[in-house]
């Protein structure tokens, strides 16, 4: 199986993550062909999940399809990268019906478009108009500070590091002053 | 002084009914190995609901539901004599017999069905549908048993039936009693026939849209109606009563049986309960009727 | 609807009637108090003789529940910042991380946990000194 | 500085307390019955709902104190907001609360209802419940044990018995304030406008 996939899709390597879990990264235009092949020839009958990972530094999303054989003993992660700007990838609903709800989830949380999915409506959020919340440029704390308010009355908080520094400086100054006073006193006594 | 008599009957039924309901909750709690509320808890609930304000209205017809139901319950009570000899606590029973009582017992549920239907709450409508379906099923064995009792006593007057029992009917005609008892458990809304007001399935069914004073009224009528039905059963099958003490212990034994039954068994679905009521108690009642007419008296 | 006569299914539930004679399982709470389990995470306590005001608890708290505030009480001479923690019980989830990282082991969780109030602004908590 | 909870009594409640001094004997009796009988809406809104089954079943048996579950909001007195409250749940809680009959109360469990709790930086949960609904009693904990919930109920019962709680009145009086906050997080589609006098002009009595 590995040799066939390597030859056909010109991938460098197939990672064996665990005994029962393989992973392959392929080009975006070859991914559906690979999924069909896995399904038809190697008995990967079930689509377990479609996941997405936001690689904001490399400016792409990693979309992973996890397929499982009908005897539930082998899983295959098929991964591809799509650009973050104008992110879209074809829907898998024509092959796996359960992909519909997973694609709705990704559409809602990452703003990825799935042409071919007929039912790409909101899943768990209601009336969400901001940046899709699981994109990494979305700052939840900033959003909370802009839209919601925390309870007041938490005043009196000190920056402990600064406070320590200040107290240390104060202590030093005091000590120096004391020393100086002592020296002066001794000078005075010497003078006498 | 029939007015005073009626008022006393109503007050007795109200308080005894509520205490029985409190006992019901307490005893059910004991079956579930809890401590349970005080026996006045249902009364407190009822008064509290009386002090609440309505949140919404569905028009006057909606409010007629509980009122018709309460009317049916109170009228049923007035036509059932508490004691078979006494002049007092006989209410209006001189003016109507068992047929009228059986008719009046139907009035409440039908009136309530109209009111709930106007409310438009789907759970209420579902509960009413289930309730009426169950009502038609439970009437069959009950009516057969009551008709047999009437033919044995040669009378349709409740006090006469109660007084004429030398051996009480429950022992003289056990098959009729058993058949009527199944119907009675269903009439009291106990398991396994309690699918009408099942809290987790249809959100307390017909009462789901009522709140405030009208729920309080529904609770009160339920207490009064339960006591009326208990007294009717005592009169028909347990030889009636000659005084308050006898009435109370006989109704209480019957009530205890009903709540024990309700605490033990699970819930039938509506078709199951209809099927059961039409097959088992009805067959028992018919056999009892044949025995009673062929070898009775 | 299909059904059949089930003798044991009808009779076996009668065993429940015996529960009537048994003692209830209930803990009648206000009268009978249940002992707090060992290691239960209740309110915070902070031993001021030991507290060094290092703000490790504040740093580790994921819920941003701890404020370091100036104290007017007698504090440890080694308390270099003269600050002690105050906890916002509108944030705390009793994960106990703050007590785990406390270097002198002065911040601890007590067995008390009952707190009821009408006003949400009451939920700032000054750990007891014990 | 005191130890323990830092009490900050709110001035806005003080005028409500003064009314109790001249309440009639009917009110007194009614308050007593209200205190003895509390129906709790069976609606678990958050993780704390898991503490409610032991409270209401045989282990802690809240029915001893007259507290029992109600199946529909029409018959309920108390709604328990058990823990974190997402926007989506908040919409349902508001609609349910408005369907309940006066007098009605809200019991808030856990840290999340006070100041966000462990969801303090979450984009999808509200931080302060009292901005959206009038809360009568807060119970401390994450989550509170059944004893704490019972303690909260008993405190609520005491306040009801003294006739001090009129949060539903506060909600009606300050509806514009609550509505504004609700619309800020839920958008314009929050719910039909709540009006205490619905039943007067809806073909009612």
Q: List all chains that touch chain B, counting a touch as 3 or more CB pairs closer than 8 Å.
A: C, D
Interface B:A, ≥3 CB–CB pairs < 8 Å: no
Could you tell me which chain A residue has the CA closest to the CA of D130? A151
Interface of D with B in 158-197 (CB under 8 A): none
The alpha carbon of residue C64 is apart from the nearest alpha carbon of chain A, in Å, by: 11
Could you tell me which chain B residue has the CA closest to the CA of D74? B211
**D161-181 confidence digits (pLDDT tens):** 888 888 888 888 888 899 889
Could you tell me which chain C residue has the CA closest to the CA of B28? C20
d(CA B240, CA B233): 8
Confidence at residue B201, expressed as pLDDT on a 0 to 100 scale: 76
Confidence at residue A62, expressed as pLDDT on a 0 to 100 scale: 94
In a domain, D12, yes or no: no
Could you tell me which chain C residue has the CA closest to the CA of A152? C121
**C54-100 confidence digits (pLDDT tens):** 889 999 999 889 999 888 888 888 888 888 999 999 999 999 999 99
Q: Do B57 and D72 touch (CB under 8 A)?
A: no
Q: Do C67 and A157 touch (CB under 8 A)?
A: yes
Confidence at residue D204, expressed as pLDDT on a 0 to 100 scale: 40
Q: What are phi and psi of B144, to 5 degrees?
A: -60, -45
The per-residue pLDDT of chain B, averaged, comes to 88
pLDDT along chain A (192 residues), means of 10: 77 82 89 89 91 92 93 91 89 90 93 90 86 91 89 85 89 92 84 60
The alpha carbon of residue B97 is apart from the nearest alpha carbon of chain D, in Å, by: 37
Q: Do D37 and B45 touch (CB under 8 A)?
A: yes
* B25, B55, B200: residue with CB nearest D99: B55
Confidence at residue B9, expressed as pLDDT on a 0 to 100 scale: 92
Q: Do D61 and B47 touch (CB under 8 A)?
A: no
Distances (CA, A) of B65 to B72, B114, B206, D30, D130: 11, 6, 10, 26, 38
Q: In which region does residue C82 sit, left (phi positive, over 0), alpha (psi from -120 to 50) or beta (all else)? A: left
d(CA A89, CA B123): 45
* Residue D74 contacts residue D112 (beta carbons within 8 Å): no
Write out chain D residues lying below 8 Å of A150, CB-based. 115-116, 120, 127-128
Q: List all chains that touch chain D, counting a touch as 3 or more CB pairs closer than 8 Å.
A: A, B, C
Structural domain count, chain D: 1
Write out chain A residues lying below 8 Å of C121, CB-based. 151, 153
* Residue B193 contacts residue B186 (beta carbons within 8 Å): yes
CATH number, domain containing residue D92: 3.40.50.12280
Interface of D with C in 54-83 (CB under 8 A): 58-61, 64
Which three-class secondary structure string do you get for C82-98? CEEEEEECCCCCCCCHH
d(CA B204, CA D45): 21
* Residue D10 contacts residue C119 (beta carbons within 8 Å): yes
Question: Which helix or strand (DSSP H or E) is residue B71 part of?
Answer: helix B60-78
Q: Do C119 and D8 touch (CB under 8 A)?
A: yes
Could you tell me which chain D residue has the CA closest to the CA of B25? D63
On whether the C44-125 domain is CATH 3.40.50.620, my answer is no
The alpha carbon of residue C109 is apart from the nearest alpha carbon of chain D, in Å, by: 13
User: By the CB < 8 Å criterion, does B204 face chain D?
Assistant: yes
Strand partners, D107: D80, D137
Interface of C with A in 49-108 (CB under 8 A): 53-55, 58, 67-70, 80-83, 86, 88, 90
Q: Which residues of chain B have pLDDT under 50?
A: none
Write out chain D residues lying below 8 Å of C93, CB-based. 111, 117-118, 142
Q: Do C115 and D3 touch (CB under 8 A)?
A: no
Q: Tell me which residue has tokens 């979309």.
A: A63
Cis amide leading into D143 (omega within 30): yes
The alpha carbon of residue D10 is apart from the nearest alpha carbon of chain C, in Å, by: 8
Q: Do D122 and A126 touch (CB under 8 A)?
A: no
Helix or strand or coil: residue D189?
coil
For residue B129 the two structure tokens come to 């549908």
Distances (CA, A) of A6 to A13, A21, A23, A47: 7, 17, 12, 22
Confidence at residue D205, expressed as pLDDT on a 0 to 100 scale: 39
Write out chain A residues lying below 8 Å of C84, CB-based. none
Could you list the residue range(s) of the whole structural domain that residue D92 is in?
24-201
Rounded to 5°, the CA angle D132-D135-D136 comes to: 165
Return the closest-CA partner of residue B79 out of B229, B220, B222. B229
d(CA D90, CA B159): 60
Could you tell me which chain B residue has the CA closest to the CA of C4? B276
In a domain, D15, yes or no: no
Q: List all chains that touch chain A, counting a touch as 3 or more CB pairs closer than 8 Å.
A: C, D
- Ordered by start, the domain boundaries in chain B are 2-295
Q: Which residues of chain D have pLDDT under 70?
A: 1-2, 6-22, 190-205
User: By the CB < 8 Å criterion, does C20 face chain B?
Assistant: yes
Could you tell me which chain C residue has the CA closest to the CA of A165? C81
Write out chain A residues lying below 8 Å of C86, CB-based. 156
Helix or strand or coil: residue A25?
strand
d(CA D5, CA C128): 10
The alpha carbon of residue B210 is apart from the nearest alpha carbon of chain C, in Å, by: 30
Helical H segments across chain A, by residue range: 2-9, 31-41, 99-110, 140-147, 160-191
CA atoms within 13 A on the CB side of C75: 18
The side-by-side arrangement of strands in the sheet containing D137-139 is C116-117, D137-139, D105-109, D78-82, D38-41, D67-70
* C29, C64, C123: residue with CB nearest D60: C29
Q: Do B55 and D100 touch (CB under 8 A)?
A: yes
d(CA B257, CA B248): 14
CATH number for the domain whose boundaries are A2-147: 3.30.460.80
Question: Which helix or strand (DSSP H or E) is residue D173 part of?
Answer: helix D167-173
d(CA D28, CA C123): 31
Q: Do B208 and D71 touch (CB under 8 A)?
A: yes
Q: Tell me which residue has tokens 């931080």.
A: D127
Longest dimension (CA), chain D: 58
Q: Do D72 and B204 touch (CB under 8 A)?
A: yes
Burial class (CB in 10 A: 0-12, 13-18, 19+), D61: buried
Confidence at residue C82, expressed as pLDDT on a 0 to 100 scale: 86
Write out chain D residues lying below 8 Å of B37, CB-based. 63-64, 66, 68
Q: Which of B262, B265, B267, B274 to mutate to test the interface with C (most CBs of C within 10 A)?
A: B265
Count of CB atoms within 10 A of residue D190's CB?
Answer: 19
User: Number of Cβ pairs closer than 8 Å across A and C?
Assistant: 41
Could you tell me which chain C residue has the CA closest to the CA of A151? C121
* Residue D142 contacts residue C92 (beta carbons within 8 Å): yes
In a domain, D196, yes or no: yes
Interface of D with C in 105-144 (CB under 8 A): 108, 111, 113-118, 120, 128-130, 135-142, 144
Q: Do C68 and A154 touch (CB under 8 A)?
A: no
Q: Do D140 and C117 touch (CB under 8 A)?
A: yes
């Amino acid at each position: 199986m590995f040799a066939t996939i390597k030859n056909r899709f010109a991938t460098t390597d197939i990672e064996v993550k665990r005994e029962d879990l393989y992973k392959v990264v392929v080009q975006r235009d070859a991914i559906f062909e690979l999924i069909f092949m896995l399904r038809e020839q190697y008995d990967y009958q079930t689509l377990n999940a479609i996941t997405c990972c936001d690689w904001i530094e490399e400016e792409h999303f990693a979309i992973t399809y996890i397929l499982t054989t009908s005897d539930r003993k082998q899983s295959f992660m098929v991964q591809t990268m799509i650009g973050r700007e104008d992110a879209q990838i074809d829907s898998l609903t024509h092959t796996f019906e359960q992909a519909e709800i997973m694609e709705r989830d990704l559409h809602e949380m990452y703003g990825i478009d799935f042409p071919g999915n007929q039912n790409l409506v909101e899943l768990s959020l209601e009336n969400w108009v901001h940046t899709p919340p699981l994109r990494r440029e979305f700052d939840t704390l900033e959003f909370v500070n802009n839209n919601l308010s925390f309870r007041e009355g938490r005043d009196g908080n000190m920056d402990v590091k600064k406070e320590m520094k200040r107290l240390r400086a104060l202590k030093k100054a005091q000590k120096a002053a004391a020393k100086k006073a002592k020296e002066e006193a001794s000078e005075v006594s010497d003078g006498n | 002084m029939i007015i005073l008599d009626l008022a006393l009957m109503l007050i007795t039924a109200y308080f005894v009914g509520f205490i029985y309901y409190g006992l019901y909750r307490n005893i059910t709690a004991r079956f579930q190995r809890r401590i349970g509320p005080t026996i006045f808890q249902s009364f407190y609930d009822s008064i509290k609901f009386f002090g609440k304000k309505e949140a919404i209205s569905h028009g006057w017809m909606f409010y007629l539901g509980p009122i018709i139901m309460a009317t049916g319950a109170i009228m049923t009570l007035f036509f059932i004599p508490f004691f078979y000899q006494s002049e007092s606590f006989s209410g209006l029973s001189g003016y109507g017999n068992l047929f009228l009582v059986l008719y009046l017992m139907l009035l409440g549920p039908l009136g309530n069905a109209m009111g709930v239907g106007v409310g438009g709450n789907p759970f209420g409508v579902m509960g009413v549908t289930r309730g009426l379906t169950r009502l038609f099923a439970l009437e069959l064995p009950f009516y057969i048993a009551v008709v047999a009792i009437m033919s044995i006593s040669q009378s349709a007057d409740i006090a006469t039936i109660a007084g004429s029992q030398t051996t009480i009917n429950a022992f003289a005609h056990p098959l009729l009693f058993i058949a009527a008892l199944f119907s009675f458990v269903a009439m009291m809304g106990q398991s396994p026939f309690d699918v009408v007001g099942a809290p987790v399935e249809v959100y307390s069914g017909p009462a789901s849209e009522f709140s405030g004073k009208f729920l309080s009224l529904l609770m009160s009528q339920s207490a009064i109606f339960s006591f009326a039905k208990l007294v009717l059963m005592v009169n028909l099958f347990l030889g009636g009563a000659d005084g308050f003490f006898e009435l109370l212990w006989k109704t209480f034994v019957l009530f205890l049986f009903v709540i024990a039954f309700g605490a033990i068994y699970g819930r039938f679905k509506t078709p199951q309960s209809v099927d059961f009521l039409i097959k088992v108690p009805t067959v028992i009642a018919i056999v009892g009727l044949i025995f009673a007419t062929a070898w009775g008296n | 609807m299909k059904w059949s006569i089930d003798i044991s299914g009808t009779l076996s539930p009668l065993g429940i009637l015996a529960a009537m004679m048994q003692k209830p399982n209930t803990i009648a709470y206000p009268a009978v108090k249940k002992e707090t389990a060992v290691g239960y995470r209740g309110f915070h306590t902070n031993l001021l003789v030991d507290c060094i005001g290092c703000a490790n608890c504040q740093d580790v708290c994921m819920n941003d529940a701890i404020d370091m505030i100036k104290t007017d009480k007698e504090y440890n001479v080694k308390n270099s910042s003269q600050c002690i923690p105050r906890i916002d019980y509108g944030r705390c989830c009793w994960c106990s991380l703050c007590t785990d990282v406390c270097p002198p082991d002065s911040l601890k969780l007590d067995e008390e946990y009952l707190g009821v109030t009408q006003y949400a602004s009451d939920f700032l908590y000054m750990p007891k000194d014990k | 500085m005191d130890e323990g909870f830092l009490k900050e009594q709110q001035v806005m409640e003080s005028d409500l307390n003064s009314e109790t001094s001249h309440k009639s004997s009917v009110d007194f009796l009614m308050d007593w019955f209200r205190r003895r009988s509390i129906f709790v809406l069976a609606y678990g809104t958050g993780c704390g709902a898991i503490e409610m089954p032991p409270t209401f079943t045989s282990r802690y048996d809240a029915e001893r104190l007259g507290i029992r579950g109600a199946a529909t909001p029409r018959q309920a007195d108390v709604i328990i907001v058990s823990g974190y409250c997402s926007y989506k749940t908040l919409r349902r809680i508001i609609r349910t609360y408005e369907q309940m009959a006066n007098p009605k109360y809200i019991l808030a469990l856990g840290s999340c209802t006070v100041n966000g709790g462990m969801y303090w930086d979450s984009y999808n949960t509200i931080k302060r419940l009292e901005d959206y609904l009038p809360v009568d009693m807060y119970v401390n904990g994450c989550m509170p044990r059944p004893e704490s919930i019972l303690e909260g109920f008993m405190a609520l019962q005491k306040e009801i018995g003294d006739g001090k709680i009129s949060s539903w009145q506060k909600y009606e009086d300050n509806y514009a304030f609550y509505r504004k906050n609700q619309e800020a997080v839920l958008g314009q589609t929050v719910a039909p406008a709540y009006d205490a006098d619905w039943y007067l002009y809806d073909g009612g009595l």
